[in-house]
Amino acid sequence: MAAPRAEVVIDLDNLRHNVSFLAGLAPGADTMAVVKADGYGHGAVEVARAALEAGASWLGSCSLVEALHLRNAGITAPVLAWLDPVGTDYAPGVAADVDLSASSVRQLAEIAEAARSVGRQARVHLKIDTGLSRNGCAADDWGALVEKAAATPEVRVHAIWSHLACADEIGHPATDAQAERFDDAYREAVAAGLEPLRHIANSAALLTRPDLHFDLVRPGIAVYGLNPVPEPFDLRPVMTFRSSVAFAKRIPAGESVSYGLSWTAKSDTTLALVPVGYADGVPRSLSHRMHVWVAGRRRPVVGRVCMDQVVVDCGDDVVAEGDEVVLFGTGAHGEPTAREWADITGTIDYEIVTGMYRPRVARTYR
């Protein structure tokens, strides 16, 4: 087999471990594995199947198209889709048993119309904004929404739900404030005659706020083995980004490397060329600030990250063409991690792994 040019390897055993660990932390709740954005760049269908095997019973998608993609792959588990533009035709969703979220009377009416056209009830989750100020019904409009939902025979309200702003900062007072507003919203829904389930916990709240597990927890990032909170948990990163040495050569002291000649060899050294660059998900802003794992240790990338390649300084070590290069991985052997890239470039590991869904990067499953 040829050495990979650019490949993400998805370790589904690690993913199953994470899901079963997370489900075990919330024994009284069902677990929804969030697989939006093509499973945070890991492949929604493969992730969904593995998560369901490991103890998840729900799946979370952002858009209806994403939810229908799971259905088209033959996945029959409950799926919630929560954010689509005005004028979306929800009929295919209702027909395919996709749970739909409504944050307003207008959205509820669109869903009810789709249910009428399909000739079956739609299952909806009413979303209350408890402080994130994104999607979700404003508290002032909530009474009208729950009353309308209770009076609309085309929909059945399965749950009310919300999303937290600061759950990754343990002890942040906003989380308690959001929990209180969520409770108020629940009481109003019950007063309107609904008997909804409740869900609000993302990965961070699942890990640190058992009081907010309610009936269903919605972990995303933790399913992929990345920990959103400072406290340690037994989560195993699922994605490894790897390539191979395409070319190796000696250069003499004084020679410089890559565009701008921004790095100069202090002594004679061996350079290894790795055929991945910013078109493959290596941020150019990592130039002069990244290491890769090759020939048994971390080694610095020298000079600028290019569109298609980076150059690694290997000193006097023997590095062979074809040797495996790990750009980021689990960190178990000291190789760089997605978190390390995120910390250096000023983002979060969510963005690093989600950004790895690229046509030029192969994806394989272990």
Q: How far apart are CA 40 and CA 123, in angstroms?
A: 26
Q: How far apart are CA 215 and CA 80, in angstroms?
A: 14
Name the token pair of 270.
């061996």
Name the token pair of 261.
């000649």
**Minimum CB–partner distance for residue 155 and ligand PLP (Å):** 20
**Minimum CB–partner distance for residue 50 and ligand PLP (Å):** 17
Of 203, 258, 287, 309, which lies in the binding site for ligand PLP, with binding defined by CB under 6 A?
203
Residues from 55 through 94 that contact ligand PLP (CB under 6 A): 82
Measured from the CB atom, the residue of 202 and 337 that comes closer to ligand PLP is 202
Beta-strand pair 291-294/297-302:
antiparallel
Catalytic residue status for 127:
no
Binding of ligand PLP at residue 149 (CB under 6 A)?
Answer: no
Binding of ligand PLP at residue 228 (CB under 6 A)?
Answer: yes
Measured from the CB atom, the residue of 90 and 350 that comes closer to ligand PLP is 350
Question: Is-contact 182 128, C-beta < 8 A?
Answer: yes
CB-based burial label for 177 (10 Å; 0-12, 13-18, 19+) = middle
Beta-strand pair 310-313/30-34:
unpaired
**Minimum CB–partner distance for residue 228 and ligand PLP (Å):** 6
**Minimum CB–partner distance for residue 40 and ligand PLP (Å):** 7
Catalytic residue status for 148:
no
Binding of ligand PLP at residue 31 (CB under 6 A)?
Answer: no
Beta bridge partners of 8: 241, 363
Binding of ligand PLP at residue 198 (CB under 6 A)?
Answer: no
Task: Report the alpha-carbon angle 122-123-125, nearest 5.
Answer: 130
Q: Which of 127, 148, 224, 259 is catalytic?
A: 259
Catalytic residues: 36, 259
The site for ligand PLP (CB under 6 A) is made up of 34, 36, 82, 163, 202-203, 218-222, 228
